[in-house]
Amino acid sequence: MFLSKMVVDLYTVLLEVGLWFLLIGGFIGGWQAGGFLGAIGGLIGTAIFGAVFFGAFLVLNDIRTRVKAIQEKQQPQA
Protein backbone atom coordinates (compact mmCIF):
# COMPACT_ATOMS: atom_id res chain seq x y z
CA MET A 1 0.00 0.00 0.00
CA PHE A 2 2.81 2.40 0.84
CA LEU A 3 4.60 1.77 -2.47
CA SER A 4 1.50 2.45 -4.56
CA LYS A 5 0.90 5.75 -2.75
CA MET A 6 4.54 6.69 -3.24
CA VAL A 7 4.33 5.95 -6.98
CA VAL A 8 1.21 8.12 -7.33
CA ASP A 9 2.85 10.97 -5.42
CA LEU A 10 6.00 10.61 -7.53
CA TYR A 11 3.86 10.72 -10.68
CA THR A 12 2.35 14.01 -9.54
CA VAL A 13 5.80 15.48 -8.87
CA LEU A 14 7.14 14.26 -12.23
CA LEU A 15 4.22 15.87 -14.06
CA GLU A 16 4.85 19.18 -12.33
CA VAL A 17 8.61 19.11 -12.89
CA GLY A 18 8.17 18.02 -16.50
CA LEU A 19 5.82 20.90 -17.20
CA TRP A 20 8.24 23.41 -15.66
CA PHE A 21 11.16 22.02 -17.68
CA LEU A 22 9.03 22.21 -20.81
CA LEU A 23 8.26 25.89 -20.13
CA ILE A 24 11.92 26.68 -19.44
CA GLY A 25 12.94 24.90 -22.64
CA GLY A 26 10.37 26.85 -24.65
CA PHE A 27 11.59 30.12 -23.15
CA ILE A 28 15.23 29.34 -23.95
CA GLY A 29 14.39 28.12 -27.45
CA GLY A 30 12.34 31.23 -28.14
CA TRP A 31 15.13 33.43 -26.80
CA GLN A 32 17.67 31.83 -29.14
CA ALA A 33 15.30 32.13 -32.08
CA GLY A 34 14.22 35.73 -31.67
CA GLY A 35 15.42 37.50 -28.55
CA PHE A 36 13.01 38.78 -25.92
CA LEU A 37 9.86 38.69 -28.05
CA GLY A 38 10.79 35.24 -29.28
CA ALA A 39 11.18 34.11 -25.67
CA ILE A 40 7.70 35.40 -24.81
CA GLY A 41 6.29 33.70 -27.92
CA GLY A 42 8.11 30.48 -27.08
CA LEU A 43 6.76 30.61 -23.53
CA ILE A 44 3.18 31.13 -24.73
CA GLY A 45 3.48 28.42 -27.39
CA THR A 46 4.98 25.99 -24.92
CA ALA A 47 2.26 26.73 -22.36
CA ILE A 48 -0.40 25.92 -24.95
CA PHE A 49 1.46 22.75 -25.99
CA GLY A 50 1.82 21.72 -22.34
CA ALA A 51 -1.86 22.36 -21.64
CA VAL A 52 -2.88 20.18 -24.58
CA PHE A 53 -0.54 17.26 -23.86
CA PHE A 54 -0.13 17.40 -20.08
CA GLY A 55 -3.59 18.78 -19.30
CA ALA A 56 -5.40 15.45 -19.36
CA PHE A 57 -2.93 13.94 -16.90
CA LEU A 58 -3.21 16.95 -14.60
CA VAL A 59 -7.03 16.79 -14.70
CA LEU A 60 -6.95 13.08 -13.82
CA ASN A 61 -4.61 13.82 -10.95
CA ASP A 62 -6.92 16.59 -9.70
CA ILE A 63 -9.94 14.27 -9.89
CA ARG A 64 -8.04 11.64 -7.90
CA THR A 65 -7.18 14.22 -5.24
CA ARG A 66 -10.77 15.45 -4.95
CA VAL A 67 -12.21 11.92 -4.74
CA LYS A 68 -9.73 11.14 -1.97
CA ALA A 69 -10.83 14.26 -0.07
CA ILE A 70 -14.51 13.28 -0.43
CA GLN A 71 -13.75 9.77 0.81
CA GLU A 72 -11.97 11.15 3.87
CA LYS A 73 -14.95 13.41 4.67
CA GLN A 74 -17.43 10.53 4.44
CA GLN A 75 -15.54 8.18 6.74
CA PRO A 76 -17.14 7.96 10.18
CA GLN A 77 -15.36 9.82 12.92
CA ALA A 78 -13.78 7.50 15.51
pLDDT in tens, 29-59: 999 999 999 999 999 999 999 999 988 998 9
Tally of structural domains, the chain: 1
Whether the model pTM is above 0.75: yes
Please work out, in degrees rounded to the nearest 5, the angle formed at the alpha carbon of residue 10 by the alpha carbons of 43 and 64: 90
Say whether 64 sits in a helix, a strand or coil.
helix
Instruction: Report yes or no on 78 lying in a domain.
Output: no
1 within some domain: yes
pLDDT digits (tens, 9 = 90+) for 17-32: 999 999 999 999 999 9
Give the domain range for residue 58: 1-73
Contact at 8 Å (CB) between 36 and 48?
no
Residue in 9, 21, 15 with CA at minimum distance from that of residue 56? 15
Q: Is residue 16 part of a domain?
A: yes
